[in-house]
Amino acid sequence: MSVDDVAARGFGSASDAYERGRPSYPDGAVQLLVDELALGASSIVVDLAAGTGKLTRLLVPSGARLVAVEPVASMRALLVEVVPAAAVVAATAEELALASGSVDAVMVAQAFHWFRVDEALAEVARVLRPGGGMALLWNERDESVPWVAELSSLVRWDQRPVPPYEGIDWRAAVAATGNFHAMARATFTIDQEIDAGILVDRVLSTSYVAAWPAPDQDRLAGEVRRLVAGFPERFVLPYRTTVYWCRRR
């Protein structure tokens, strides 16, 4: 398997922080995809680059058979514990260990920007049955809130050495393959209730931050705690969630 080096080192060393600090996804967004892609007990659904199963666990009530694909071993270890209903597979988006035309839907949450896009889309198209669905989701911190914008500055979000996902025309990238119908798009909001410790976990689970030396991580953790020092014990970190979905031709 070939995984981006920053992703492999960062996520591999921060799986516990990822599980504690990362938000879930809006119930409305998940229900939209279940409805639009007609998921149910007869469906086989792949959660691709599933991480610790933040999305996978939300799909369990659909009744679908869930296959969680995750290349990072420490993430898989947590995923097995958190979502025992899912079959967990070690593979990458570019080399799925699945038969052609064998699945009804492929979902990718907070990860598609890490893939080699053309290869990943070709592989998703290969494993989907005709008419099967694909969905891409991203949570993005709401930087219209001043303290959240300051948090992004502390994390050097605008200088991050990782592939971006904002501002990319994902619909055009998918359309260019000729394998999918036009993508639809919807946006949601979700408020993650946290405390200072969870916020630090969220920051330290950022891929490139997790790869920093421990003294640099400790310094950043201190800055984050100072940022929210005057906040209530529990407070809200707001996110906007963007969802794309389409069907295989």
Q: In CATH, what number is assigned to the domain containing residue 56?
A: 3.40.50.150
DSSP 95: B
Inside any domain, residue 58: yes
Inside any domain, residue 157: no
User: Which structural domain, as residue segments, surrounds residue 126?
Assistant: 5-143+162-192+239-247
Inside any domain, residue 121: yes
Inside any domain, residue 202: no
What's the pLDDT at 172?
Answer: 96
For the chain, 249 residues long, the average pLDDT of each consecutive 10-residue run is 50 78 97 98 98 97 98 94 97 96 98 95 98 97 96 79 75 97 98 98 89 93 98 98 98
Inside any domain, residue 223: no
What's the pLDDT at 42?
Answer: 97
pTM: 0.91
Count the domains in the chain: 1
Q: What is the phi/psi pair of residue 149, to 5°?
A: -60, -40
What's the pLDDT at 5?
Answer: 57
The SS3 call for residue 86 is: coil
Inside any domain, residue 102: yes
- State both tokens at 6: 């920053």
Inside any domain, residue 206: no
Q: Answer whether 93's CB lies under 8 Å from 49's CB.
A: yes
- State both tokens at 84: 């025992």
Q: Comparing C-alpha atoms, which of 69, 2, 56, 67 is closest to residue 30? A: 56
Inside any domain, residue 234: no
